[in-house]
Structure 1
Amino acid sequence: MKPLKEYTIPFVGLKLGLHSFEYEIGDTFFEHFEYDEFNTSAIKVDLEFNKKTTMLELRFTAKGTVNVNCDVTNEPFDLPIENEFFLVVKFGEEFNNENEEILIIPHGEYEINVQQYIYELIVLGVPSKRVHPGVEDGTLKSDILDKLEELSPKEKTLENDNEEIDPRWDKLKNLLNDK
């Protein structure tokens, strides 16, 4: 996958200290990753970039909404997203991203691309089970919920309790009481 230029930060020209970057993440960003779980998205990612003499510290903060389909009713709804991620970038002999919180890049590097970290920050901020808020508070009216209610098991009525019980069950219940 080709890195997107707007997510590449040339840190060699930056002064030591704190720098801020803002990214507006929309549908085209996720199309680049071929991720189609979101109907639409509007997310703001703030990146606090702290350049130090021997390392870089990156703090990502994502806030916004993604429009997803409910896992229960398949109704689309806007799901608020809020997530944070902290990354330390150190310099070493060769590239190493095995540790999720520490990235090691070669000494000669002069820029870092943050698109993969932004993508993971947003995707991992979405809960694994997405339930429409109307389902949770009972205000959503949909055909699927009506059908689920219709097909759900009903409680026994008193008429069913008065039916004759097979005497073999009584004998089994006596075994439990004979202890």
Structure 2
Amino acid sequence: MNTLRAYDIHIVGLDNKRYEYDFTSDSSFFAALEQDLIKAGNVKTHVVLEKSETMIRLDFHIVGTVEQTCDRSLDEYDEPVDTQQTMLLKFGDHNEELSDEIELIERNTATINVARYIFEFLSLSLPMKRLHPRFRNEEDEDDDQEVKLIYSSGSGAETDDGEANDQPDVDPRWAALRKLSDN
């Protein structure tokens, strides 16, 4: 937990204006969070805090790399991260998360720990499908190719001379749908 104390921002006594903070997160940061999504990494976070009478606006810009494990090969690789997110902390009578971007905090809150926000924004910026960079070109090529699949109810129509036709009998419902997709 001492590692995460470095992410405390003391808001008591701050004037209503703009402040800037810089944080560097490495493997000890990810270990201190006790989670399994990101084991290691090196990211720099620039936080712009704008304090007003009713709320605090936190603008995060997170840049760096995090270590990921490829879903296909189980090889570890560095995933680049570059994300910008905003968090609004409104002053209220109790602590409550109103939405993903808005939280209520008590008026007498002395410090805000931004470690949780940094981790959440990092997690959201990672791709759902974790692929090593050497596999990504293959995926892009597969996505670019257009594939049409036509279902048929018969095995193939025969012509008048008894030879099998290359074109199978197509159910009229599928033929009508194919006409729509060709438009």
* TM-score (norm. length: structure 1): 0.72
Q: Distance in 1 between matches of 2:21 and 2:7?
A: 10
SS class of match (1:109): coil
2:9 equivalent in structure 1: 9
Kept in 1: contact 2:3–2:32 (CA 8 A): no
1:36 equivalent in structure 2: 36
Q: Distance in 2 between matches of 1:25 and 1:16?
A: 28
Amino acid at match of 1:95: N
2:53 equivalent in structure 1: 53
1:101 equivalent in structure 2: 101
Q: How many residues align?
A: 149
Q: CA deviation at 1:10?
A: 1.1
Kept in 2: contact 1:90–1:103 (CA 8 A): yes
Q: Structure 1 residues 169 and 14 mapped into 2: Cα distance closer, same or farther (>3 Å)?
A: closer
1:164 equivalent in structure 2: none
Q: Distance in 2 between matches of 1:95 and 1:39?
A: 30
What's the CA shift string for 1:23-48, capped at 9, x where partnerless? 11111111112223435300011110
Q: Distance in 1 between matches of 2:99 and 2:92?
A: 14
Q: Distance in 2 between matches of 1:137 and 1:171?
A: 40
Counting helix residues as a fraction of each chain, which structure ranks higher?
1
Q: Structure 1 residues 104 and 37 mapped into 2: Cα distance closer, same or farther (>3 Å)?
A: closer
How many percent of aligned residue pairs carry the same amino acid? 29
What's the CA shift string for 1:46-73, capped at 9, x where partnerless? 1101111221110011110012121112
- Deviating more after overlay: 102-111 vs 113-122: 102-111
Q: Structure 1 residues 66 and 170 mapped into 2: Cα distance closer, same or farther (>3 Å)?
A: closer
- Deviating more after overlay: 46-55 vs 30-39: 30-39
Q: Distance in 2 between matches of 1:103 and 1:46?
A: 20
Amino acid at match of 2:135: V
Q: Distance in 1 between matches of 2:155 and 2:97?
A: 64
1:151 equivalent in structure 2: none
Amino acid at match of 1:99: S
Kept in 2: contact 1:3–1:113 (CA 8 A): no
Q: CA deviation at 1:81?
A: 0.8
Kept in 1: contact 2:81–2:126 (CA 8 A): yes
Are 1:75 and 2:75 an aligned pair?
A: yes
Kept in 1: contact 2:155–2:169 (CA 8 A): no
Kept in 2: contact 1:3–1:115 (CA 8 A): no
SS class of match (1:4): helix
1:119 equivalent in structure 2: 119
What's the CA shift string for 1:62-102, capped at 9, x where partnerless? 11001212111222211101122111111112111132211
Q: Unaligned 5+ residue runs, structure 1?
A: 139-167
* TM-score (norm. length: structure 2): 0.70
Q: Unaligned 5+ residue runs, structure 2?
A: 139-153, 159-163, 173-183
